[in-house]
Amino acid sequence: MGRLIVEQHVTADGFAAGPNGELGWVDGSVSEPGPMVDQALAELENTDAILLGATTYRLFISYWPTAVDDPLAEPINRLPKHVVSQTLPEAPWGDRAPATVEAGEPAATADRLKQTYDRDIILWGSLQLASTLIEAGKVDEVRLRVAPVAIGQGIPVWDLDYRPMPLTLRSATPLATGQVTLIYDVTT
C-alpha cells in the first residue's frame, strides 16, 4: 500500500506563496544541481506517482514537459500523474502520456491511489487539495522544504479548521544552501 506525502516549499515564516500567489522567493537551488536536487532525486526513487490539484497542474504543465535541462525533469515527466479536478476535461503532458484526471471525491481518490501504488505518492503544491486530504486523515507524511526567507504575509501552507494535528518529526536536514528539509509522520 502506498503512502501519501504532502510536500511543500515554504518560507521560514510559514507561507507557501506571497499574498497574490507570488513565488519569487523560491531560489534556483530547487532545480539546479546541488543538495536540494540531490535530496529530491533520492526521494523520487521511492515514488510511484504524482498527485496534483488543477492549479498546480497548470503551473507544472507550463514548465516540466519541456524542461530537458532540469535534473528533476526526467523522473517528474516519467512518473504517472493524477490531477484532482472537477473542471479539467483532460490533462495533457506535452508529448508524454497525459495525466489522469480524477473527478471524484478527493479522499476516495487518495484511498484508491494508495491501494493502486506500492510506494510513495507525492502531492506537490496544491494547497487546497493538501488541506482537504490532511483534514480527511489521508496524508501519511508531511515534507516541508523551508527556505531561508521571511515574507511577512502571504498564503499559508494549509487552510485547516483549527484543531491540533500531531506530527512526529522523522528528520530535519539542513542544506548548505540554507534550506532545511523537515519530514514529519502524521500521527493519528
- pLDDT grade, residue 163 (50/70/90)? confident
Give 119-143 pLDDT, tens digit per residue.
999 999 888 999 999 999 999 999 9
Parse the chain into domains and list their residue ranges.
3-186
Q: What is the pLDDT of residue 88?
A: 96
Mean pLDDT computed over 94-123: 97
Instruction: Using the predicted structure, report yes or no on whether residue 33 has a pLDDT greater than 60.
Output: no
d(CA 71, CA 66): 12
Of 175, 50, 24, give the one whose Cα is nearest residue 125.
Answer: 50
Instruction: Look at the block and give the residue holding cell 527556505.
Output: 147
User: For 77-81, 86-90, 135-139, 157-161, which range has the lowest pLDDT when averaged over its residues?
Assistant: 157-161
Going by the DSSP 8-state scheme, the letter that residue 112 receives in this structure is H
Quickly name the fold that domain 3-186 has. Dihydrofolate Reductase, subunit A (3.40.430)
The packing angle between helices 106-116 and 127-135, to 10°, is: 80
pLDDT of residue 117: 98
What pLDDT is attached to residue 32? Answer: 54
Q: Report CA-CA distances (Å) from 127 to 52, 70, 170.
A: 10, 24, 22
Q: Assess whether pLDDT exceeds 80 at residue 15.
A: yes
Residue 28 has pLDDT above 60, yes or no: no
- Return the pLDDT at 36: 73
Per-residue pLDDT band at 21 (split at 50, 70, 90): confident
d(CA 159, CA 148): 22
3-state SS of 48-91?
A: EEEEEEHHHHHHHHCCHHHCCCCCCHHHHHHCCEEEECCCCCCE
Q: Whole-structure pTM over 0.85, yes or no?
A: yes
| pLDDT-derived band at 34, boundaries 50, 70, 90 | low
Q: Would you put residue 63 in left (φ > 0), alpha (ψ -120 to 50) or beta?
A: alpha
Quickly state the pLDDT bin for 30 (edges 50, 70, 90): low
Evaluate whether 8 touches 17 at the Cβ level (below 8 Å). Answer: no
Residue 107 burial by Cβ neighbours in a 10 Å radius (0-12, 13-18, 19+): middle
pLDDT, one tens digit per residue, over 47-78 is 999 999 999 999 999 999 999 888 899 999 99
